[in-house]
Amino acid sequence: MKITPVSEHVGAEVSEIDIRRLTDGDTATLLQAWGQHGVLFFRDQELTPDDHITFAERFAPIDVNKFFQPVETHPQIAQVLKEPDQLGNIGGGWHTDHSYDQIPAKGSILLAREVPPEGGDTRFLSVAAAYDALSDGLKATLETLSAHHTNVHIFGAGSKHMDKADNRLQNPENVGSAIHPVVIKHPTTGQKLLYVNLAFTTRLISADGHEWTEEESRPLIDYLLGHTAEGGFDYQFSWDEGSLAMWDNRSTWHWALNDYQGHRRLMHRITIAGEALSAAAS
Ligand SMILES: [Fe+2]
């Protein structure tokens, strides 16, 4: 197997590998590379749904998403689908998956089944690099803060987002919220990671547990989002049928570009379970 970094801050392409036939040594090498690069890309993989599940379970148990239509024959796999007549897409903005869960998913393993002739790329970025680029003063302040994450405004009853993405499962009674440190420590690499995102982070909480209002929180959250999105910490991946990306939900953000109107795009996603997050300062 060959592992080639694809950008300065995030991502590596893994080649000369058939992920249906991994040894335990291969898995250990991939885990190490995953921690180092945040997202790993594979091309030309011929996977059945069962192969996809077997690959995912090498890294962690599957964490079934409550808001996606499952693949009919394999409920562990979520179907991320945009039909030619749909305008909105799923994941069309910088975010990380499942930050509204008490124990957010470790990562997602996305396999391209049908891709548009052009467009439909996914951007990824490193929130480790985003954290590192902040001043020591702001880092020290952020390490004392927590943030509230929720999906009520996206998946809850009456959300305009659910109208746009009508291939998503309507499941408003399963919405959820969680509080996480603003700067977390990666559970395996120990890297410090900026853990706020555009989709789900709504307000800040001080070290002694007192809540900021949303109005007070917004400028600082927006500064951090802008710094992260615009800092040059990103890489854009172009999919072919049989491409697979596995990303770490703690150390990266991703954004599915919606630039292929009139074409169908079908991806199969498996999300795998993570561990409780701890503060970088602890
Ligand atoms: Fe996502």
Q: Please give the distance, rounded to the nearest whole angstrom, from the Cα atom of residue 271 to the centre of ligand 1.
A: 10
CA of 186 to the centre of ligand 1 (A): 19
- Judge contact between 239 and 121, C-beta under 8 A: yes
Res 156: pLDDT: 59
Structure tokens at 130: 């985003």
Distance of CA 9 from the midpoint of ligand 1 (Å): 19
CA of 273 to the centre of ligand 1 (A): 15
pLDDT of residue 220: 97
81 Cα: distance to centroid of ligand 1 (angstroms) = 13
Structure tokens at 174: 């399963």
Where does residue 158 fall: left (phi above 0), alpha (psi -120 to 50 degrees), or beta otherwise?
left
156-159, long-range: CB < 8 A, 24+ apart: none
Residue 151: what pLDDT?
Answer: 81
Residue 282's pLDDT is 66
Q: How remote is the CA of residue 279 from the centroid of ligand 1, in Å?
A: 23
Spacing, Cα 97 to ligand 1 middle (Å): 5
**Ligand 1 mean position to 254 CA, how many Å?**
6
What does the alpha-carbon distance between residue 9 and residue 6 come to, in Å, rounded to a whole number? Answer: 9
Going from the Cα of 150 to the center of ligand 1, the distance in angstroms, rounded, reads: 15
Nearest to 125 by CA among 147, 156, 94, 162: 94
Ligand 1 centroid from CA 80, angstroms: 10
What count of Cα atoms within 13 Å lies in the side-chain half-sphere of residue 96?
A: 29
| Domains with residue ranges and CATH for the chain | 2-277 (3.60.130.10)
280: CA distance to ligand 1 center in Å? 24
For residue 90, report the distance from its CA to the centre of ligand 1, in Å: 7
Measured distance CA(133)–CA(127) in Å, rounded: 10
Calculate how far, in angstroms, residue 96's C-alpha sits from the geometric centre of ligand 1.
Answer: 6
Question: What's residue 98's pLDDT?
Answer: 83
What's the start-to-end Cα distance of the chain, in Å? 37
CB 122 within 8 A of CB 97: no
Closest CA to 222 of 245, 203, 206, 249: 203
Q: In the prediction, which pLDDT does 46 show?
A: 96
- pLDDT score for 37: 98
Say how many Å lie between the CA of residue 95 and the centre of ligand 1.
Answer: 6
82 Cα to the center of ligand 1, angstroms: 14
Distance from residue 137's CA to the centre of ligand 1 (Å): 31
Task: Please give the pLDDT value at position 64.
Answer: 87
Interval between CA 47 and ligand 1 midpoint (Å) = 21
Q: 256 C-alpha vs ligand 1 centroid, how far in Å?
A: 8
Give the distance (Å) from ligand 1 centre to CA of residue 114. 18
DSSP state of 268: E
Mean pLDDT by 10 residues, the chain (282 residues): 98 97 96 97 97 97 84 93 92 88 94 97 98 98 96 66 54 76 95 93 94 96 96 98 97 96 97 93 74
